[in-house]
Amino acid sequence: MTKMKETEDMRAPLAFLLGNLKFSKDFRNIQAKPDGPLMRITAEPKTENLPYSAVEFVVTVDGIIREVKVTAYDKSVIDFNFKDEKLDPPLDARLFQFHMPAGAKLVDEVQGQ
């Protein structure tokens, strides 16, 4: 069974994809090696309090991340692969409409201010 905190920490490499991490601040022993037309970047977390021992990113020459591989201390590996990324795809505005659930109450103020 994985503790909730550890589950959250496993998402740290994915936070980099979302722009929530500073790579050089959060990782050490950063190495980049060409891998055909791609670049393979490996690194270790700066803190040992996280449940993983290494991360690996595979990126294109234009900086598009194709793979994120996370290696845990128990040597298990979680591998995320990405393809067919679409930047700013057209989306139906109805996807972003809020509908008040039945029985809910709308509070129009911020508490503590």
26 within 8 A of 45, measured Cβ to Cβ: yes
Q: Residue 3: pLDDT band by 50, 70, 90 thresholds?
A: very low
**So where are the chain's domains?**
4-96
Q: What angle do CA 94, 95, 99 make, to 5 degrees?
A: 75
- pLDDT score of 1 more than 50: no
Asked whether 68 and 78 are in contact (CB, 8 A), the reply is no
Q: What is the pTM of this model?
A: 0.63
Would you list the DSSP string of 5-64? Answer: HHHHHHTHHHHHHTT-S-HHHHEEEEEEEEETTEEEEEEEES-TTSSEEEEEEEE-TT--
Phi, psi angle pair for 12, to nearest 5°: -55, -45
What's the pLDDT band for 113 if we cut at 50, 70, 90?
low
- Give 74-95 pLDDT, tens digit per residue: 888 988 898 888 878 899 998 9
Q: Please, what is the Cα angle at 77 between 58 and 20, to 5 degrees?
A: 55
Among 18-22, 33-37, 62-66, 68-72, the minimum mean pLDDT is found in 18-22
pLDDT tens by residue, 19-50: 666 778 878 999 999 999 999 999 998 887 77
Most confident of 1-5, 28-32, 104-108: 28-32
* The CATH classification of domain 4-96, taken from the options 3.10.25.10, 2.50.20.10, 3.10.150.10, 2.40.30.10: 2.50.20.10
Residue carrying structure tokens 């503590």: 112
